[in-house]
Amino acid sequence: MRSYILKFSTSFRDHPLLCISFGFLLLFSSFVLFNTEGFYNTIEVASIWVRTWFGPFYLYLGLFCIIFILGVAISPLGKQRLGGNSATPEFSRWAWIAMLYSAGMGAGILLRAVQEPVYMQQHPPISTEATSEILALQYTFYQWGFTAWAFYGLFAVVIGYYLYDLNRPVLTSEALGGFTQNLWVRGLVDVLTIITTVFGLMGAIGLGTTQITGGLSHVFETNFGISSILFLVLLIVLLAFISVWRGMHKGIKLLSTLNITLTLAILLFVVTQSDLPLVLKQFGLACYYYVRELFQLSLALGNHDPGEAFLTDWTYYYWAFWIAWAPFTGIFIARISRGRSFRELLFGVLLIPSLGTFIWFAVFGTHAMELIESWGSYNNEFGNVFSSIFIFFEQLPLPEVTNTLTIFLLISFLVTSVDSAVFVLSMFTDKGNVQPKKQHRLIWSAGIALFSVVLVLLGNVKPETNVLVALQKLLIITSLPFALLMCVIAIGFLRASRKNGQ
């Protein structure tokens, strides 16, 4: 026991990034605990300010990232492999796709599978020549498609280049390249990445456990209270700790592969119950309109401008979320992409997960809209983001099986989000080591469990102040410096690759 205590104390003493990050998170948690209402009001005002003043900039940044990703991929630089042309991939393509998708999207596609396409159909954001069903899928594709993965891909290729080609540590500050060597600035960037990752995890765990308990309450027609949520939080973090303790190959890879296999099984089941020709038609037309009008959608031009209210509540909100998650997700993707060419990495990150997401929403969205048409009226049955998918499955055969599998998959997706994030956090605080020491993995797993439990308890004690919503909106605020950083690291990446003759 004494040796373990000494190891932990040494970890904190010899790793200032770990000490500073944990210290800030403890101070922040104390502030929220003793001034919850003030925290909520401040975050509400600040998040609206960010979306109002920088929302249009986020739109331009999203389009820039897509163009940047495509430009690098098709350029001669795209042929270069991370780690040199003799490097070979550490993971199979299937495992690689499974891990990047589990880290990048995960439970979100279950949360929104039915609710978002139906909402867009019932409340069309813009008016075009497309039918309301096609427009609903087109807009859902837009908000979950190329732009989100372009944000991730930018960080992935830049961090991967500095890590494997220039032999730098796995730290966001390394992406600053030759712009600054100021230790305070670089340290601030790394601390902000850690804090944002932890906030994102706490929000994801809070949302995910809320949906799981909502699903359990709906399926078993009983109310699962705070004790059930706390049990789920601890279970998810414990499973994530076991996964990350076992490492990339024996833990994270296996669990991510299981996730994608089960997701495909659910998707195929829904396909067998759907009007396949209609699904294919809707999918094809929605993809066509999305690609054709991507430029106008990305900049909200002319008839493709849904208005400031919609942009603030939806697009700016999504873009801020993707940007806030981009450093952690991009770094994780970089870590698992050694041996792949820039072209494979960028096309793979941009196209494969987007296409999979489009198919998912086309199948679920089309079937849900067909159900509404068969009902003859719609009373917002799919309006609740936490219960919509369970209500959807009740309209199909074997609802007990599909709902149970969905709950299992929600837990599993949350576990893979947590284990990949804990691995990235451990790399950061272990001085950028690609194989971080196990005590760092334990420290961050325990920390995530502690902060998440405090968040759940605080939300239960002060239900009038929605701490979970405030935490989500906090990500919008922390996304701003990363949005500005993206422009810097893109330029730095091009300068560094040119300087090294690549």
The model's pLDDT over 332-373, given as tens digits with 9 standing for 90+, comes to 899 899 899 999 999 999 999 999 999 999 999 999 999 999
Tens-place pLDDT, residues 146-162: 999 999 999 999 988 88
Q: What is the 3-state secondary structure (H, E, C) of 86-147?
A: CCCCCCCHHHHHHHHHHHHCCCHHHHHCCHHHHHHHHCCCCCCCCCHHHHHHHHHHHHHCHH
**Half-sphere exposure of residue 119: CA atoms within 13 angstroms, side-chain side:** 14
The count of other CB atoms within 10 Å of the CB of residue 363 is: 24
Highest-confidence range of 38-47, 199-208, 235-244, 283-292, by mean pLDDT? 283-292
* 198: phi then psi, degrees, rounded to nearest 5: -65, -45
- Please name which of 446, 441, 447 lies closest in space to residue 426, comparing C-alpha atoms: 441
Q: Is the pLDDT of residue 292 over 90?
A: yes
Q: Which residues of 61-77 are buried (b: 16+ CB within 10 A; e: fewer)?
A: bbbbbbebbbebbeeeb
- Of the candidates 315, 316, 313, the one whose C-alpha atom is nearest the C-alpha of residue 53 is 316
Helix (H, G, I), strand (E, B), or coil: what is residue 429? Answer: helix
Summary mean pLDDT of the chain: 86
User: What secondary structure letter does DSSP report for 217?
Assistant: H
Q: Cα(3)–Cα(307) distance, rounded to whole angstroms?
A: 60
Class in CATH terms, 10-278+305-499: mainly alpha
Domain residue spans of the chain: 10-278+305-499
SS3 81: strand
DSSP string, 289-325: HHHHTHHHHHHT-GGG---HHHIIIIIHHHHHHHHHH
pLDDT category, 2, cuts 50, 70, 90? low
φ/ψ (deg, to 5) at 498: -70, -40
Of 13-17, 278-282, 475-479, 494-498, which one has max mean pLDDT? Answer: 278-282
The pTM for the full model equals 0.92
pLDDT over 90 (residue 108)? no
Inter-CA distances, 210 with 62, 204, 217, 420, 459, Å = 30, 10, 10, 21, 11
Mean pLDDT of 192-205: 83
Q: What does the alpha-carbon distance between residue 270 and residue 278 come to, in Å, rounded to a whole number? A: 13
Q: In 3-state terms, what secondary structure has residue 341? A: strand
